[in-house]
Structure 1
Amino acid sequence: MFILPLLTYAIVASFTPGPNNIISMTNARSYGFRATMRFIGGVAAGCLIIMLLSSYFNLAMYQYIPKIRSVMNMIGFLYMIYLAVKIMRSRPQGDADDKAGGFNSFTFGLIFQFMNPKVILYGITAVSTFVMPIATTHVQLLLFSLLLTIVGISANMTWALCGSLFQNLLSRYERTFNLLMGLLLIYSAFSIYAANG
């Protein structure tokens, strides 16, 4: 049955380090798990939209992807590098005004999904490889889109929980943590770009 390979792919793709996971962990360390739900909610909404678009426009997208893939890859790559630099240069979180915005908002989480090559490629690959051969109705496409989104959000929440649980430890080594998260994001940017460039 196709569901086991789909779930295996979705879990591996979702739980590995990537922009959403790293930002979720960083936000939870800085603002706490509960406040990070704003960002994760935006990620969920954006991810679901991308999964639905991947489901309904999969064939049409394949006609255009070869023409725009390199541009999409470059924009996503540069934006991930920008985020990594911002994370590495961020200062200790003590200012209440800083906690109101930035990367920890529903809007940022939603919009970021449309620039996040990992989510876009996750949707296109999962849908084209595992969903399209077996899903033919609107209900099936919606259910598979929800399933892929739920697996992705589970990964974000797991990374955020780790950031929240180890908040004191991570705060003690904040500069080192920010540097490590930034470097992981740079590594993620380069691996995604190399795999799909």
Structure 2
Amino acid sequence: MSFIPFLSYVIVTTFTPGPNNIMAMSNASRMGLRRSFPFILGVGAGFLAIMLLSSYFNLVLYHFIPRIKVGMNILGCLYMLYLAVKIVRSSSQQRDDSTSNNNSFFSGLLLQFINPKVILYGITVISTFITPYHYSNFRLIGFAVFLAFVGFLATFSWALFGSLFQSFLLKYQKAFNIVMALLLVYSALSVFS
């Protein structure tokens, strides 16, 4: 296994803007890092589940990917567009709403199962870099945990950024919300390119 290309792909893919990172940053900028942590943990748990599923069902999914990809792309895009609308419509009045539906553990977990970026990432990274060289349960689980940890770090980093620049982001909240919504729309549209 070529470790440098593997690590490069993992870091670039997990740290670039996507629904997980954008939602984590948006939640942390509105409610702070501590109150957005349930969402971040949900993303991490869902990410781990997707990586484990990708490890063990890679060959089956790879056979059916032409059929699954279209449906997952449409569902994922619709959800990302829904999140974009929610971000644009959010206001500073929602800042103290720690029970917001898009800031819960369940919301972060569910996002992974309809997030085409994570699903395609899991299938791609595992089929390209892991399963051709590693077959044991111990190694597959180890790689899944490693990939989930890197995904958690990426989401946490974006949330930390949102939290650290909270006052700045609140001052320019409308512009920030529009930019974050546009990034989500871009993420949704890039699925089909």
Partner of 2:103: 104
Q: TM-score, normalised by structure 2?
A: 0.96
Structure 1: segments with no counterpart, 5+ residues: none
Q: SS at 2:192's partner residue?
A: helix
Percent sequence identity over aligned pairs: 53
After superposition, the CA RMSD in angstroms is 1.2
Partner of 1:85: 85
Aligned residues: 193
User: In structure 1, how many angstroms separate the alpha carbons of the residues matched to 2:82 and 2:53?
Assistant: 27
Partner of 2:155: 156
Partner of 1:126: 125
The question of 1:42 aligning with 2:42 is answered yes
Letter in 2 for 1:8: S
Q: List per-residue Cα deviations over 1:108-160 (Å, max 9, x = no partner).
A: 00111101011101100000000111111000000100111111111111111
Alpha-carbon offset, residue 94 of structure 1: 4.9
Structure 1's 51 and 94: CA in aligned 2 closer, same or farther, altered over 3 A?
A: closer
Partner of 1:56: 56
Structure 2: segments with no counterpart, 5+ residues: none
Q: List per-residue Cα deviations over 1:39-61 (Å, max 9, x = no partner).
A: 01001111101000000010011
Moved more, 61-70 or 138-147: 61-70
Partner of 1:75: 75
- Given that 2:25 and 2:158 are in contact with CA atoms closer than 8 Å, whether structure 1 keeps it comes out as yes
Alpha-carbon offset, residue 95 of structure 1: 6.1
User: In structure 2, how many angstroms separate the alpha carbons of the residues matched to 1:137 and 1:59?
Assistant: 15
- Given that 1:39 and 1:108 are in contact with CA atoms closer than 8 Å, whether structure 2 keeps it comes out as yes
User: In structure 2, how many angstroms separate the alpha carbons of the residues matched to 1:135 and 1:95?
Assistant: 46
Alpha-carbon offset, residue 102 of structure 1: 1.7
Structure 1's 95 and 3: CA in aligned 2 closer, same or farther, altered over 3 A?
A: closer
Q: Which runs of 4+ in 1 moved over 4 A?
A: none
Q: List per-residue Cα deviations over 1:24-79 (Å, max 9, x = no partner).
A: 00011011111111001001111101000000010011121112211111111111
- Given that 2:31 and 2:95 are in contact with CA atoms closer than 8 Å, whether structure 1 keeps it comes out as no
User: In structure 1, how many angstroms separate the alpha carbons of the residues matched to 2:71 and 2:38?
Assistant: 30
Partner of 2:6: 6
Q: TM-score, normalised by structure 1?
A: 0.94
Q: SS at 2:133's partner residue?
A: coil
Structure 1's 53 and 95: CA in aligned 2 closer, same or farther, altered over 3 A?
A: closer
User: In structure 2, how many angstroms separate the alpha carbons of the residues matched to 1:25 and 1:185?
Assistant: 12
Q: List per-residue Cα deviations over 1:160-189 (Å, max 9, x = no partner).
A: 111000000000011111011000110111
Q: SS at 2:35's partner residue?
A: helix
User: In structure 1, how many angstroms separate the alpha carbons of the residues matched to 2:60 and 2:87?
Assistant: 36
Structure 1's 147 and 95: CA in aligned 2 closer, same or farther, altered over 3 A?
A: closer
Structure 1's 191 and 178: CA in aligned 2 closer, same or farther, altered over 3 A?
A: same
Partner of 1:167: 166
Letter in 2 for 1:191: S
Q: SS at 1:113's partner residue?
A: helix
User: In structure 2, how many angstroms separate the alpha carbons of the residues matched to 1:158 and 1:42?
Assistant: 15
- Given that 1:21 and 1:156 are in contact with CA atoms closer than 8 Å, whether structure 2 keeps it comes out as yes
Partner of 1:140: 139
